[in-house]
Structure 1
Amino acid sequence: MTAIIRAALADDLHTLLAIENASQSHPWSGPVMARYLKHPDNIWILEKAGKAVGFAVVTQVVGEAELLDIVVHPDCQGLGLGHQLLEFVLELVRKGGCERIFLEVRRSNLGAIHLYEKMGFCQVGMRRDYYPTARGREDALLYCQELLD
């Protein structure tokens, strides 16, 4: 069954938080997620068989986009849904007139890094000790993709 992607609504907050909490070691809080829900087209939900299984949070400002969060529920990982969601985001920001998109990822998130590099992102920097971990902190790798044709 094909997955669909739709804009998130304020009523989706609890669903988004459930996916975020199941997927992240240090999940976003309700107030942070709610802040992005206030702006149309910031959060996109991926549904499979009528159930929300992932989402992406993306902002667009003056020709640049930032992918702030992209998550697929652990029960649905490895099915190509993250790839589908990322393709959607890239097309969305291209249509929005963005020339480039940025993201950051935990150094230890090898699956995400592989996906980003496969999709044309290049590492452009690093933030040392940026993310909290159970044992301290870890680096954030900064990635960018130029969207010009």
Structure 2
Amino acid sequence: MSAVRIERTGPDSAARMADVHAVCFQRFWSAGEIAAMMQMPTTLGLVARSGDATVGMALYRIAADEAELLTIGVVPERRGQGVGEQILWRGEHEAAARGARRMFLEVSTLNTAAKSLYLGHGYVQIGCRRGYYGDGSDALVLEKTLASDGQGSGSKLITPLSE
């Protein structure tokens, strides 16, 4: 299995990103939707590449001192291999380099793998949106304080998520 590279990307990668999104989510974003988001100067697009294949993707919005992870996905055959962690880590660093001091995201209470990833990276729950997703599941609102080097500035103590 070849190594994974995390690369910044633009609207020209929207189709590849949409392909990854489609295998990761029931309600996926089209290439047109992704390209439109990536036209905005506040959007950061990242792809994980293994050889010629796109195996993961993420979109972030960065404005002033705040950033939001809009979506992140890894193709099923590459899950559990650290690809999502690499994409998340790179996004945090890119956001911090652009002046963001806090990162926000939403995750379904049913997505145990993603919750574990975010908790392992120092995110803490700051809210809950009841019935947010199409399947009726709640969205946990998570936040992480970023230091100037992109790492969390808080302690390594992890606050458990409420279900």
Note the 1:1-149 alignment, pairs <5 A.
Answer: 1-39=2-40, 42-133=44-135, 137-148=136-147, 149=153
Provide Cα deviations, 1:36-67, integer angstroms capped at 9, x if missing partner: 12135521111012211111100111100000
The answer (yes or no) to whether the contact 2:67–2:104 under 8 Å persists in 1 is yes
Alignment-mate amino acid for residue 141 of structure 2: L
Residues of 2 paired with 1:34 and 1:11: CA distance? 7
Decide which structure has greater strand share.
1
Structure 2 residue runs without a partner (length 5+): 148-152, 154-163
The answer (yes or no) to whether the contact 2:59–2:70 under 8 Å persists in 1 is yes
In terms of mean alpha carbon deviation, does 18-27 or 31-40 score higher?
31-40
SS at match of 1:42: strand
What is the Cα deviation at residue 94 of structure 1?
1.3
The answer (yes or no) to whether the contact 2:105–2:143 under 8 Å persists in 1 is yes
- Match of residue 160 from structure 2: none
Residues of 2 paired with 1:9 and 1:42: CA distance? 8
What is the RMSD of the two structures over their aligned residues, measured on CA atoms? 1.4
Instruction: After the TM superposition, list the runs of 4 or more consecutive aligned residues in structure 1 that deviate by more than 6 angstroms.
Output: none
The answer (yes or no) to whether the contact 1:36–1:43 under 8 Å persists in 2 is no
Q: How many residues align?
A: 146
TM score, norm. by length of structure 1: 0.91
Provide Cα deviations, 1:95-116, integer angstroms capped at 9, x if missing partner: 1111100000111000000010
What is the Cα deviation at residue 2 of structure 1?
2.3
Residues of 2 paired with 1:69 and 1:145: CA distance? 16
Residues of 1 paired with 2:32 and 2:52: CA distance? 26
Residues of 1 paired with 2:65 and 2:48: CA distance? 25
SS at match of 2:144: strand
TM score, norm. by length of structure 2: 0.84
Sequence identity, in percent? 29
Residues of 1 paired with 2:71 and 2:122: CA distance? 18
Alignment-mate amino acid for residue 98 of structure 1: A
Alignment-mate amino acid for residue 128 of structure 1: R
Alignment-mate amino acid for residue 143 of structure 2: C
Residues of 2 paired with 1:108 and 1:124: CA distance? 17
